[in-house]
Chains A and B, each alone.
Chain A
Amino acid sequence: MSSHEAHAGHHHDHGDHHHEELPFWRKYIFSVDHKVIGVQYAVTALVFLFFGFTLMMIMRWQLAYPGQPIPLIGKYLSSAIAMDGILVGDGYNALGAMHGTIMVFLAIVPLAVGGFGNYVLPLQVGAPDMAFPKLNMMSYWVFFCGGVVMIASFFVPGGAAASGWTSYAPLSVIATTGQTMWLLGMVLLITSSLLGSVNFIVTAVQLRAKGLGFFRLPFFVWAQLVTSFLLLLAFPPLEAAGVLQLMDRLAGTSFFMPSGLVVSGVQQTQYAGGGSPLLWQHLFWFLAHPEVYVLILPALGIVAEVIANNTRKPLWGYKSLVYSAIFLGFMSFIVWAHHMFMTGMGTTLSTFFQATTMIISVPSVIILTCLIISLWGASIRYTVPMLFAVAFLPMFAIGGLTGLPLGLTASDIALHDTYYVIGHFHYVVAPGTIFAMFAGIYYWFPKVTGRKMNDLLGKLHFWGSFVFINAVFMPMFFQGMAGLLRRQYDQTEQLHGSLAHGLTTMSSWGAWLLALAQIPFIINFFWSIRGGTKVDANPWQATTLEWAAPSPPPHGNFDKVPVVYCGPYEYSVPGKKTDYCPQHVAMEA
């Protein structure tokens, strides 16, 4: 029976396909099965992740060795980006803007939500698929189109968008064509997210198996649920802002253009004026702040699952975790202007946002503390997913703590727009979220493929990544303190940059070595699909519902619709034969 579809214009009743084998293109390309879609999202996102990383690696050459031609690939870069193999200012800015955009919108969110959320959530709630499978498929393809538009923007005259991932007006309004493509790409990506988030919420609420009450849900599901609400409600203002900026660029409106502008000596009389650059900032950050919680919540969800499984005991403070996640989601809507403290904000507004920013640190601290306390009294198995999950904790702590000086206006004066900020947010997303993503890949790979990834390669990947990622980002805090500003094509042009430059070379080498450390992972990933050790349904002896389905699960997921009898982390229950009690198995008295 086909799914119920809310809004799309076209739908065909598939009819029963128990006994009919779908053609290749319906099974693997335009599939409506959440598992296929999840893999599509994940693989596409990983490709974008490595591409976005490559952009940064090119930039890091210019940073460490200003004015030197980039080895190997320098001569292939387009004239918008480099001249004689040397990066130019516009090119550096374009790579920077696209690095941020690609990492946030084309890599992390599609991987964390589209990939992991899509694959695991229906399984963890005991559902045969998402609530709206066809809508799910559409979400993926709209995302894919958005990605194509974004990448295509590199090839238009003037090159890709170069006004930062933040696209502040008026710079972005007077920018070249690439910026228009950025906006169009964003509209597509936002639409994809919106469609997806509707699906996730309905699935998590309505498709839960019998006995699976809200407080028996794995924390991963709660994290995805809150994330979906953030996507649903926070993205539309950015979509509106994108439309407004497109109007400014294409229809000559002045939403963000004040009166009297003079650019390079030319009076900009074509604009009516009267607009406000701050309007863009407010609309942008209204999304972009919840967006960073979209980046971290699924990661917290994955880390929670892996920690519960590898400590062989229930998570400490499950209820605190859930309430904190919900409170965090709510608070994330009212902190946005802490990104705008330096825009001329007065005391009233800044007090409000400082206060909410301080308050929002509380649930974050609670979640981190609960996860750390979960290690007490445990029996820790250091599997590869657990290595990444455990490393996540102090890395996230550093990222979160360094947010404090930025969230208070007085200290922000010295640190705003410096490398301190770059260090802060990268600690949260890079050794933070990305490590959680790796944990999730190693953890659920057996479920998706029926085979485990190789442990030795996994450990190499982990240790290499852990060491080098810290080498990249730890120096940035010190550079930021010294006054080194961000988005600087040539850091040595300014005195502060000159004096803090030594650490830049360390960051650059860290980045290139970090890339090398990913090679074991890439080899492992592809080789294990066919060559990894075969496993059964539950190789990690886990309790949550996805492990009740075969590895890999067939269409429809479960041989028998599961019924849930207990909480999600019934590990080491006293008096039981095994150290884990799956949710779908009734515990004997």
Chain B
Amino acid sequence: MSAAAIIPHDMEPHPVTGMYNGKFGIWLFLASEIMLFGALFSTYVLLRMGAEDGMWPKHGAEILNVPLATFNTVVLITSSVTMVLSWAALKMGDVAKGQRFLGITFLLAGTFLVVKYFEYKEKFHHFEVFLNEPMAVEGYQEPLKGIRGHFTADSPKLEADAKTGAYAIPEYVIIEPDAPHGTHEHPKPVRIESAQVKRISNFGPRHSNFLATYFTLTGLHGLHIVGGMVVILYFLLTGSTFAKKNHEKYVNRIECTGLYWHFVDLVWIFLFPVLYLL
């Protein structure tokens, strides 16, 4: 067996890059992640520019919950801060403090996901009935091509087609339309016959390309948060032992995790205005 199975620059920076292997590796990985999210942002741009009038909401706020998302933004940015504090504490030698901050980061990430869960859930209970001909609805200035709202208790239950997954159109539906944007007055429930209906959808991904993009982008981002949480959890559980065995190496691992975490945060900082505010 060879005596020299030691990987060079595992810990000490390389003269050309100025980084140890892991750090260089994570930066390269992040470059590929930029391409991944970049492709999805490009998709958003292309689809929005090519959308017919009326198919894309004028403002994300029409459909999405901006206050919740703003809260989430603050949560995520804070988690990035606590991530740095964890690394800084560890670098200074205080393992207990470092692990504490790591734990807070984990909890903040969990909060983000919980809020996201409620945001998503709301969408699946919210519906739009797309009409063949625009219909006038009280409280709205223009006749609507699609009525958004919630079905009343006496509206027939919806069934999804086994093959396509889309809702079959029942004989009639009774929907309580949303309050027009800016007001809080719900118009009275409206009954719509099946002949007037083109399509019924909840506010899930199949509703429109805007929501499809929203779910895909935030969903993929959410998966990245989950991935990060798995890594952080692992370090929470094994960190103290690891740090005792090889302190510098542990600090490096946390640094790399932190870089990844900041990237995930950065993606959200782009996502939030693009989807919710524009």
Contact = CB atoms under 8 A, between A and B. Distances in A.
| Chain A directly contacts chain B within the complex, with at least one CB pair under 8 Å | yes
Interface of A: 1, 3-7, 9-10, 13, 17-19, 127-129, 131-133, 135, 194, 197-199, 201-202, 205-207, 232-237, 239-241, 243-244, 247, 251-255, 259, 269-276, 279, 282-283, 286, 554-561
Interface string B26-49: 101101110111111001001100
B201 interface: yes
B161 A7 contact: no
Most buried by B among A202, A270, A271, A556: A202
Interface in B179-220: 198-199, 201, 204-209, 212-213, 215-216, 220
Contact of A272 (B4, B28, B208, B231): B208
B67 interface: no
A268 B100 CA distance: 54
Interface residues of B, number: 65
B204 A251 contact: yes
Contact of A236 (B5, B36, B43, B205): B36
Contacts of A270: 161, 164-166, 199, 206
B212 A255 contact: yes
Nearest to B257: A7
Contacts of A557: 2
Given A4-B20, A240-B36, A274 B7 contact: no
A252 to B, nearest CB: 4
7 contacts: A1-B5, A4-B21, A128-B6, A132-B21, A197-B32, A207-B9, A273-B55
B201 A127 contact: no
A253 B205 contact: yes
A239 B36 contact: yes
Given A251-B165, A253-B209, A255-B212, 12 more contacts: A4-B10, A7-B260, A128-B4, A132-B22, A199-B25, A206-B17, A232-B32, A244-B40, A254-B209, A259-B52, A283-B43, A560-B4
B39 A241 contact: yes
Given A240-B40, A269-B166, A205 B1 contact: no
A131 B7 CA distance: 7
Given A129-B5, A247-B212, A251-B206, A276 B50 contact: yes
B36 A237 contact: yes
Contacts of A269: 166, 198-199
A272 B201 contact: yes
B212 A235 contact: no
A274 B166 contact: no
B35 A237 contact: yes
A10 B50 contact: no
A3 B246 CA distance: 13
Contacts of B207: 272
Interface in B225-242: 230-231, 234
Nearest to B21: A131
Contacts of A239: 36
A237 B39 contact: yes
Nearest to B26: A6
B256 interface: yes
A7 B29 contact: yes
Contacts of B5: 1, 17-18, 128-129, 555-556
B256 A7 contact: yes
Nearest to A21: B1
Contacts of A279: 43, 46-47
B153 interface: no
A127 B1 contact: no
A1 B10 contact: yes
A233 B3 CA distance: 37
Contact of B52 (A1, A19, A253, A274): A274
B244 interface: no
A238 B210 CA distance: 21
8 closest residue pairs by CB, A with B: A556-B2, A270-B166, A253-B212, A252-B206, A236-B36, A237-B39, A556-B5, A240-B39
Nearest to B206: A252
B73 interface: no
B128 to A, nearest CB: 10
A219 B212 CA distance: 46
Contact of B231 (A9, A240, A259): A9
Contacts of A286: 39
Given A252-B206, A272-B207, A274-B51, A232 B31 contact: yes
Nearest to B167: A270
Contacts of B213: 255
A272 B47 CA distance: 13
Given A10-B234, A205-B24, A194 B32 contact: yes
A199 B17 CA distance: 15
A275 B47 contact: yes
Nearest to B10: A4
Contacts of B25: 6-7, 131-132, 135, 198-199, 202
B218 to A, nearest CB: 13
Contact of A18 (B1, B31, B36): B1
B278 interface: no
Contact of B21 (A9, A206, A233, A253): A206
Contacts of B9: 131, 206-207
Nearest to A257: B209
B222 to A, nearest CB: 13
Nearest to A246: B216
A235 B43 contact: no
Interface in B30-89: 31-33, 35-40, 43, 46-47, 50-52, 55
A237 B199 CA distance: 32
B276 to A, nearest CB: 19
Given A235-B32, A555-B1, A205 B17 contact: yes
Nearest to A13: B245
A6 B256 contact: yes
Contact of B28 (A9, A202, A241, A254): A202
B14 interface: yes
A198 B260 CA distance: 14
Interface string B240-260: 000001000100110010001
Contacts of B198: 269
Contacts of A273: 55
